[in-house]
Amino acid sequence: MYFSPLVLMVETIKAEIKPALARRFRKIAMEKHKYKKGAVKAALEELIRRYVLCGKVEWKTLRGIMQSKALSVELQHKVWSSVD
C-alpha cells in the first residue's frame, strides 16, 4: 500500500447566515475570482485567514449572535454525535 507524503487535510465548517448576506458574499466572491470554480471557497478561506491573522477577536461583537439556548458544550456534543 502506498501513502503519499503530502496529504492535504481539510475541515468543514457549517454556519447558518442570513440569505441576503450569503447572496452578497457569493456575488462579490464570484466577481473577485472571475466566476471560476471554487470562487466562494477561495474567498471564504481568504476571509478566515485575514480574521485569524488579525490577532485579536472582539468577542463582544460575536456574543449573542447565535439564536440558541443551548450551552456551547451541548452544541459541541450535538455536532460531534452527528459526525459519527
Is the pLDDT at 1 greater than 60? The verdict is no
**H or E segment and range at residue 43:** helix 39-53
| Cell numbers that stand for 55 in this block | 490577532
| Cell numbers that stand for 42 in this block | 477561495
pLDDT tens digits for range 6-29: 667 778 888 898 999 999 999 999
Residue 47 one-letter amino acid: L
pTM of the model: 0.52
Neighbours of 29 (CB within 10 A): 19
Residue 39 in contact with residue 30, Cβ under 8 Å? yes
